[in-house]
Structure 1
């Protein structure tokens, strides 16, 4: 039974890293003594080691040890033997490139689908979707394939922002970009606001957290879903 949590962000404004999720994660990773952290997205260019250490310090508070996937000479074996996973945020293009280059995307998908708990934040949540086409990130590298794990039958737009009617910014809104995506793609998109996440338990998928999620379907007016609502598109 799939056990997946895909959050919009790791850190709420003014709070410590993962602080808002820690109560949820204690139950989510119940019985897990060690997780494998996938640091490939490298926010701000942080090193794999420094990123892993940041995560290690946070998870120590709930009694879980952390090892970075980059430290294993055979990462495929590390994934096969893992008790749980966390993929952090950063640049989705870089994360997807690395997972495909190392032939790990499908390996990770199969392990998670077997029931091993998977936590993603931001870029790490984007790869839970059908593909990475709804990321907000700059294409700093070019992945061989935009396809991601497909743990959910839709894409996530993390850090979703509503249009600000008082802003003088003339650039496109997130909603505009997603409408552009739907000219050429039928994949549903869930706009995840900060403090919100997607929870997958087996075949059940729900929106969770402190904010509504915004749902985008091809040819349909976007609508809101409250936390705790099931996500079904057929």
Structure 2
């Protein structure tokens, strides 16, 4: 497991963790434009990590088009033979969404799990969306994605000590779907692991500034799950800093 997110080094961390990158009727990342601009204040060039999708060039170009409107240049991590050199020089890092299993496997193979985590703990701003938000957790175990590849382990960056479920969907009483709801799947996770899980609904995000963690975005907010307790609703503006003191306890058989 990576260095816990509540160590002294965590006081410098600046995180923006988006549930989603696209919203209905809006262009890419536009729903969070103001939050992104504030998070990247003073940044001239952003390092984008595109490994969650297969088309690295196309994905990087999409991010670059948005960031250009903020006056920020974008460099794709895939453009270097050893992307760790780009991480070491990065002013800020953005890991985009896609398939979390493919993303984590790619980060592991390139030595980027440790490299990115170290730079972010040193104070380099980190931004994640969807799978990139999953990567900020201790593990990817609360992703919604299909395991299309097998990473070496489930351990991810560990920038926060709790789990996140991006794109959280509430149960629909009118749905004909007969499989487990998202709530049921997270309850199953908590039968095996004792660590909070924050279900981030579409259009919401978390902002971490050192030891302060705040929920923001659309009014529907987020739903917090804990083992042995009823889920708790949180609305934008909620102070969730207590989650940063979490000591995650996972089933070690699947670390």
What TM-score range do you get, normalising by the shorter chain? over 0.9
Shift of 1:3: 0.7
The number of residues matched between the two structures is: 231
Equivalent residues in 2 for 1:16-55, closer than 5 Å: 16-42=27-53, 45=54, 47-55=55-63
Q: Distance in 1 between the 2:221 and 2:148 partners?
A: 31
Structure 1 unaligned spans of 5+: none
1:220 aligned partner: 229
- Matching residue within 128, 151, 172 for 1:120: 128
- The answer as to whether partners of 2:82 and 2:110 remain within 8 angstroms in 1 is no
Q: Distance in 2 between the 1:203 and 1:219 partners?
A: 26
Shift of 1:40: 0.3
2:20 aligned partner: 9
Q: Distance in 1 between the 2:206 and 2:35 partners?
A: 12
Instruction: Provide TM-score, normalisation by structure 2.
Output: 0.89
Shift of 1:229: 1.1
- The answer as to whether partners of 2:64 and 2:73 remain within 8 angstroms in 1 is yes
The alignment partner of 1:192 has SS state of strand
Q: Distance in 2 between the 1:224 and 1:67 partners?
A: 38
- For each residue in 1:129-180, what CA deviation from the matched residue of structure 2 results, as whole angstroms up to 9, or x when unmatched? 1110000000000000101111111111000000001111111110000011
Shift of 1:216: 0.4
Shift of 1:74: 2.1
The alignment partner of 1:200 has SS state of strand
Q: Does 1:135 align with 2:143?
A: yes
Shift of 1:101: 1.1
- The answer as to whether partners of 2:196 and 2:227 remain within 8 angstroms in 1 is yes
Shift of 1:187: 1.6
Q: Distance in 2 between the 1:194 and 1:223 partners?
A: 17
The alignment partner of 1:120 has SS state of strand
Q: Distance in 1 between the 2:161 and 2:184 partners?
A: 22
Structure 2 unaligned spans of 5+: 1-11, 246-255
